[in-house]
Amino acid sequence: MSMALKSPLTALAGVGPALAGKLERLGLYRVEDLLFLMPLRYEDRTRLVPIGALVAGHRCLVNGEVLLAETVYRGRRSLLVRIGDGSGQLTLRFFHFSRAQQAQFQTGTRLSCFGEVRRGPAGPEMIHPEYRLLGENRKPAVNESLTPIYPATDGVQQGRLRNLTEQALGVMHRSGPRELLPDSVRQRFDFPSLADAIAYLHRPPPDADPAEILAGRHPCRQRLAFEELLAHYLSLRNLRALADSQRAPLLDGGTEETAAFVAGLPFELTGAQRRVVEEIVADLGRGHPMMRLIQGDVGSGKTVVAAIACLKAIACGVQAALMAPTELLAEQHFSSFADWFGPFGIEPVRLAGNQRAAARREALAAIADGSARLAVGTHALFQEGVTFRELGLVVIDEQHRFGVHQRMALRDKGGKDGGDGHPHQLVMTATPIPRTLAMAAYADLDTSIIDELPPGRRPVTTIAIPDTRRDEVIERVRDACAAGRQAYWVCPLIEESEQLDFEAAEASFDLLTRALPELRVGLVHGRMKPREKERGMSAFKEGLVQVLVATTVVEVGVDVPNASLMIVENAERMGLSQLHQLRGRVGRDARQSHCVLLYKPPLGAAAKRRLGVLRDSNDGFVVAQQDLELRGPGELLGTRQTGLPEYRLADLVRDAGLMPGVQMAAETIRREAPELAKPIVARWLGDANRYGKV
């Protein structure tokens, strides 16, 4: 790529330090960046529309002669300018105007105007249109291409952005951007050249279909989206290549211990669990870091598989660490692993952010000297000051709550006494991820799917009913508990406020305590201390409490087989995957379980569709695909927590169909032109890309 396109923006006419600083807010630093600043929409200023043919709601270019200009005071001061072109009349309305501006609109003056047509009291009108005075013989300015509307920032007008992109396009036409897609890839997908695609998207011809461009269907748009997806994919695959070149503990022992563990379980492993265990065992015996994602629906038995991996690692003489996204889930894992590993003389230690200082010091010392062979905790595990003697395996539960950065931080704690080895990584999610999205987001990981529920499990029946029928639901809870079962009553986060979250749970707790005096009702919410939460959960697990009112802290990990009824308040406000997770807390034995989604009517179209999906399907992958289409990848993958990269132009939902081709192109580049990988990543992710240097 020529130096001109790599030049700073100050090399362009009219760009000084002040404007350059404002443009940085749009992610613009070099001339080349302007080429990839895509318009949000387009306006058609390529043809004049007769005033008599104007349609309300359309943005149009018109030409006319001033017939009348007057200042009126109807509620507020405004300037009305009436123009005509022989086919009809149009009123231009200005609320902000100067005396000099008013003086421009002399009767007989010719104008060219562009704006949105509205219905006014005296026929069509435009409010604050863009306009240009036309001289005696001057023709109205008709553009040769559609007019782009760019993302804006304070102090940078559309006209300025159009001028700058025009300059950047001029530089591109003189020196051309480097074509980084191999010819074989371009020919296979019939993609236009990069220069042609960029030029078309910035200045589409008059006959272009803006809707096709903005929907991502146009070949020029797909050409750029493809390359951007490829850049992200290559950066993640580079992480994988780095892992494959690094050392990790060779964990090929522990066969007797794991066989004894499996034989001692009160249930048989499913075929899917056995298959995934075999994949993990093969990874651990390679001497390079395992990087494996286990996907499995709620209740499919991922934790047992993780326990087998941990036991194998410990039996081979290294430490294992299990990281969970919440204190509650970490406490439950700690309890489960302590029970499972007790017969093998393994006592896990817990590390959490809310521990007392003495307990934390004790845990840190045990982790550092290696006497703690299994550490269970939250993100506190990868904070500074936590030193492992020889960390050989990292298990991360609910992967979508953690980002690449956090996984890398825990990985860097591996190696014997801070040596250069890296631990194996096993990451798990109960939020099934559609295949194309997994390709884009987790390209650095191998994927295993536990696609089989334990035998005897029956699908949970789901119904959605308005909260006006709350009394019927309470009776349903009474009946279930009278039959010896238990029930959850979940109050999700209503606002981004722990206070409101807490108050909603308290209110439901009070209501149910009064309505069901013969039952023991418990309460668990986010503001409780961990010990209080643990006591509340334990009481429910042991059957001392029949109805548990809770916030979404019970979303993951809670396993109470006797609970057969899940009530979710305000279900219309929640995402599909979260509702599916909550529903997965019941149906954990062979008896029939039910989920009731309470909603506040009237339901909007999107909420109606969401609740309908839950009613119709228990398949987590179906639910996840619908969630992806409804809410986008950021919500499904937990972007707020993970820092999943923002795409400048690609859309992981809309462009999902490109991902198999992206995978193929990456393989072609690796095989035929590996030198292209680095510039592709640099073009789209910048010099300091967030995943891995190529």
pLDDT at 500: 55
Confidence of residue 640 (pLDDT cuts 50, 70, 90): very low
Rama region for 616: left / alpha / beta (φ>0; ψ in -120 to 50; rest): alpha
In this structure, the number of other CB atoms found within 10 A of the CB of residue 306 comes to 24
For the stretch 299-334, pLDDT in tens is 788 999 999 999 999 999 999 999 988 777 888 899
pLDDT attached to residue 690 = 41
- Whether the CB-CB separation of 354 and 378 falls below 8 Å is answered with no
Say how far apart CA 72 and CA 611 lie, in whole Å. Answer: 53
pLDDT of the residue at 407? 62
Q: Is the pLDDT of residue 418 over 80?
A: no
Among 140-149, 281-290, 449-458, the range of highest mean pLDDT:
281-290
Q: Are strands 594-599 and 461-466 parallel, antiparallel or unpaired?
A: parallel
Residue range 218-241, pLDDT digits in tens: 999 999 999 999 999 998 888 888
Phi, psi of 424 (to 5 degrees): -75, 150
Range 249-269 average pLDDT: 93
Average pLDDT over residues 343-353: 92
With bands split at pLDDT 50, 70 and 90, how would you rate the model's confidence at 619? confident
602 upstream amide cis, omega within 30 of 0? yes
Q: Of 3-7, 8-12, 585-589, which one has max mean pLDDT?
A: 8-12
- Name the residue with higher pLDDT: 568 or 398: 568
Mean pLDDT across the chain: 87
Q: What confidence score (pLDDT) does residue 499 get?
A: 52
Phi, psi of 426 (to 5 degrees): -125, 115
The yes-or-no verdict on residue 400 having pLDDT over 70 is no
Report which of 293, 257, 258 is spatially closest to residue 274, judged by C-alpha positions: 258
Give the model's pLDDT for residue 692.
45
**What confidence score (pLDDT) does residue 404 get?**
62
Q: What is the pLDDT of residues 32-44, one digit of tens each?
A: 999 999 999 999 9
Residue 451: per-residue pLDDT: 84
Model pLDDT, residue 553: 65
Find the range with the poorest average confidence among 49-63, 438-452, 490-504, 575-589: 490-504
47: Cβ contacts below 8 Å, ≥ 6 apart: 61, 142, 206
Q: How many percent of the chain have pLDDT more than 70? A: 90
Length of the chain: 694
Residue partners of 63: CB distance under 8 A and separation at least 6: 48, 85, 110, 111, 112, 113, 134, 140
Written as one letter, the residue type at 579 is: L
Least confident of 85-99, 276-290, 437-451: 437-451
**Tokens (6 digits) for 120:** 């006014």
Residues in a beta bridge with 71: 79
Nearest to 577 by CA among 354, 415, 399: 399
Q: What is the mean pLDDT of residues 565-572?
A: 93
Q: What is the SS3 assignment for 663?
A: helix
Distance CA 103, CA 97 (A): 10
Q: Which helix (H) or strand (E) holds 83?
A: strand 76-84
* Crossing angle between the packed helical segments 255-264 and 302-315, to the nearest 10 degrees: 150
Contact 323, 377 (CB under 8 A): yes
Q: What backbone torsions phi and psi does residue 125 show, to the nearest 5 degrees?
A: -150, 160
User: Count of CB atoms within 10 A of residue 108's CB?
Assistant: 7
Q: Which domains are delineated in the chain? A: 1-37+150-175 (1.10.150), 51-134 (2.40.50.140), 292-450 (3.40.50.300), 461-617 (3.40.50.300)
d(CA 251, CA 554): 35
